[in-house]
Amino acid sequence: MHTNSLIELDRSAYQNNIGFLKKTFGKKVIISSVVKGNAYGHGVQEFVSMAFECGVKHFSVFDVQEAKVVKTTLTNKATIMVMGLVQDEDLEWVIQNDVEFFVFDKSRLTNAMKVAKKLDRKAILHIEVETGMNRTGFDKKELNAVITYLKKEEQHLTFKGLCTHYAGAESIANYYRVDQQIKKFEEIYAFFCKNNLKPQIRHSACSAASIMFPQTRMDMVRIGIMQYGLWPSPEVFVTYLNSKKNKTDPLQRVITWKSAIMSVKKVNSGEFIGYGTSFMAKRKMTIATIPIGYCHGYSRSLSNQGRVLIHGQRCVVVGSVNMNMMTVDITDLEMAKKEDEVVLIGTQKELSISVASFSDFSDQLNYELLTRISKAIPRKIIK
């Protein structure tokens, strides 16, 4: 465990976000909390416990390993849905534990049936269909066979959901493509109905689609980034604001990432700082070393770019981000000393470092930045 930094999760911010999402989608729409990628870096165990206490009962993960962590954390109290990888050797556990899963190819469908039959327990399926993302999903021409199979093996297979995923709903540049996908999904649903086979629920929306294309909300939304208090892109935020009289951000950041100064040193004008020659002191400087590096998830692309907060002031990373350490300029902070708090993401006094700001000085998306934060950093729920 890394004891050189701490991730805090703000329960009241999360409660606020869930409240906003529920109000936006209405009572009839199920909110599935997407917790893949270690709950977007928040720490899956701590995060799902907090979410469950805040009333969330449905969780989506990428693979079975993540499903097992959620299952162990929450025992049998929540619904778990695997959206990605289920290996054949895991099917038994999945079906035995009523974990729901996406099915997007014939072999998974037939293997699920075999295992369900052997266990004498129904497999709970979400049939994912291809609508234009071209990643996973049954093609139109396979649907007849899928429908026939689901009907034939009805005593072993529960047709819980019909679903798809959009190829970039967060950007208006993809408007036409997503719009076509929505139409195609409607057609596929109609095709199932015409063949007398209805799923219990339909779902397609991620955070961006749920705001940009409200018709995609259907029976359930799969919400990742927005529950963490962040917008999928500035465009989605602006679209939301334009639809409202009250122009304030309804979301609150859940995560805070903190560390502390490890050592302080004076550097003369003309000296280079750290490896190589990427930063030369142009005056007498005071440098603080922070025990955070790229092995903790602080990207090397933030060398000479990143900002942190110390004593409520913004301080710039100087030199390169190393594996376990980085150096920041504290020349103008005379009171700064060893062990003082350093905020990498979050608020200190009047200033904040937002997750979105990282994309201003590196090419990191908010999603990428968060999921890179090391799993080994302790997480703590506050408030």
Ligand X SMILES: *Cc1c(COP(=O)(O)O)cnc(C)c1O
Give the residue ranges of the annotated binding site.
135, 323
Complex with ligand X: residue 158 or 366, whichever CB lies closer? 366
Of 66-74, 222-230, 274-282, 304-312, the window that binds ligand X (rule: CB under 6 A) is: 222-230
Those residues with Cβ within 8 angstroms of residue 354's Cβ, 6 or more apart along the chain or in another chain? 253, 345
224 touches ligand X by CB under 6 A: yes
Report the residue from 223, 310, 330, 342 that binds ligand X according to the rule CB under 6 A.
223
Report the residue from 207, 216, 233, 303 that binds ligand X according to the rule CB under 6 A.
207
Of 13-21, 190-198, 221-229, 320-328, the window that binds ligand X (rule: CB under 6 A) is: 221-229
Distances (CA, A) of 263 to 139, 237, 270, 271, 325: 59, 40, 21, 18, 11
Write down the catalytic residue from 23, 265, 275, 375.
275
What's the token pair of residue 323?
């594996």
Total site size for ligand X, rule CB under 6 A? 12
What radius of gyration, in Å, describes the C-alpha atoms of the chain?
A: 24
What's the token pair of residue 19?
């409240």
- Pick out residues in 33-72 that bind ligand X (CB under 6 A): 34, 36
Provide the minimum distance between the beta carbon of 205 and ligand X in the complex, in angstroms, as a whole number.
8
Write down the catalytic residue from 14, 36, 166, 228.
36
212 touches ligand X by CB under 6 A: no
Report the residue from 9, 51, 56, 206 that binds ligand X according to the rule CB under 6 A.
206
233 touches ligand X by CB under 6 A: no
Secondary structure of 40-97 in the HEC alphabet? Answer: HCCCHHHHHHHHHHCCCCEEEECCHHHHHHHHHHHCCCCEEEECCCCCHHHHHHHHHC
370 touches ligand X by CB under 6 A: no
DSSP string, 339-357: T-EEEEEEEETTEEE-STT
Assess whether 275 carries a catalytic annotation. Answer: yes
Q: 3-class DSSP state for residue 329? A: strand
Assess whether 36 carries a catalytic annotation. Answer: yes
Provide the minimum distance between the beta carbon of 265 and ligand X in the complex, in angstroms, as a whole number.
41
Which positions make up the binding site for substrate?
A: 135, 323
CA 166, distance to chain mean position in Å, is: 16
379 touches ligand X by CB under 6 A: no
Report the residue from 74, 225, 318, 343 that binds ligand X according to the rule CB under 6 A.
225
User: Are 17 and 228 in contact, with CB atoms under 8 Å apart?
Assistant: yes
User: Are 328 and 320 in contact, with CB atoms under 8 Å apart?
Assistant: no
Residues classed as catalytic: 36, 275
Where does this chain bind ligand X (CB under 6 A)? Answer: 34, 36, 83, 165, 206-208, 222-225, 232
